[in-house]
Amino acid sequence: MNKLDDLMRFQQTALSVRGQRQQLLASNIANADTPNYKARDIDFNSVLTSKLQLNSNQSSTPLTKTAGQHMDPSGSVDGIAPMYRTMVQGNVDGNTVDMDVERNAFADNGVRYEAGLTMINMQIRNMLAAIQG
């Protein structure tokens, strides 16, 4: 069972981080007209690497949320604080959301999320084919 878990762990972790990133990007889009709102994003690769290392390192114990309503510490995504986007074009009200950038990032992240689901689906189909012969 352990090898089966290891096979799925990477895709499961990647989907989890992509889902959290999607929420962050959706928050940016929702706050496009909020004065002084600063657009935030995460570096997917660094968060994924950090989370995979944390999962493989059994000696460290991360903080555990005991309820779904609990927030990650300091608004972090799996222990890594989101970074603020650099301002591409100045805005009078101090808002740094660029809707073109946000929409592109949202769509790209969504497509990659769907690709991750497809990969997991294919892995499960291959395992079933091997089991059933």
pLDDT at 60: 46
Q: Which residue has the tokens 């992509």?
A: 18
Is residue 90 pLDDT above 90, yes or no?
no
What is the residue type of 7?
Answer: L
Please tell me the distance from the alpha carbon of residue 48 to that of residue 54, in angstroms, as a whole number. Answer: 10
| Contact between 84 and 96 (Cβ < 8 Å) | yes
For the stretch 53-87, pLDDT in tens is 877 665 445 556 677 666 555 556 656 788 888 77
pLDDT at 79: 63
Is residue 130 pLDDT above 50, yes or no?
yes
pLDDT at 5: 78
Q: Name the pTM for this structure.
A: 0.76
